[in-house]
């Protein structure tokens, strides 16, 4: 009986690990002005981000422009960054679970206010990060 109970407890614990978590972006205050925000352009190409390291200033509004120059879909996955960053209300729906999908040949603009930290970045499409589509976001 004890073995069966232990096995059930282990199964429940493992199934809880498999439940996906949903990351909800923090919304920037409505009075945040992005009119004079720094514009940072990031190119998503076949298996690379350019620049590979994105440097931002903590608390300073930014317009982050993600442009996919290829014929295949890519994403900009930085869950820890997006969890710590305030996003303009109008742009929040573009971020799903810490990722932004960028269609082939498409662009996405995000208005945000970053928080200090160092964050990992990758494209989570199958095989893309292992081929080098990784980077970092450094906010000082």
pLDDT reading at 20 higher than 80: no
Using CA atoms, how far apart are residues 33 and 74, in angstroms rounded to an integer?
A: 29
Q: Residue 51: its pLDDT value, please?
A: 99
pLDDT reading at 103 higher than 60: yes
**CATH number of residue 115's parent domain:** 2.60.40.420
Q: Residue 24: its pLDDT value, please?
A: 74
- Domain assignment present for residue 1? The answer is no
Nearest to 34 by CA among 80, 83, 96, 87: 87
Using CA atoms, how far apart are residues 140 and 126, in angstroms rounded to an integer?
A: 31
Q: Residue 25: its pLDDT value, please?
A: 78
- Domain assignment present for residue 78? The answer is yes
- Domain assignment present for residue 80? The answer is yes
- Domain assignment present for residue 39? The answer is yes
Number of domains in the chain: 1
- Domain assignment present for residue 12? The answer is no
**Residue range of the domain that includes 52:** 23-139
């Amino acid at each position: 009986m004890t073995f069966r109970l232990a096995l059930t407890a282990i199964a429940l614990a493992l199934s809880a690990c498999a439940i996906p978590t949903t990351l909800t972006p923090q919304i920037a205050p409505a009075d945040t002005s992005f009119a004079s925000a720094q514009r940072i352009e990031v190119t998503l190409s076949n298996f690379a981000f350019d620049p590979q390291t994105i440097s931002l200033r903590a608390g300073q509004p930014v317009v982050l422009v993600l442009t996919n120059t290829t014929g295949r879909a890519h994403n900009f996955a930085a869950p820890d960054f997006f969890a710590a960053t305030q996003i303009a209300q109008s742009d929040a729906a573009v971020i799903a679970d810490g990722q932004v999908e960028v269609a082939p040949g498409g662009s996405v603009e995000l208005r945000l206010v970053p928080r200090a930290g160092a964050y990992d970045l990758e494209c989570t499409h199958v095989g893309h990060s292992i081929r080098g589509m990784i980077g970092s976001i450094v906010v000082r």
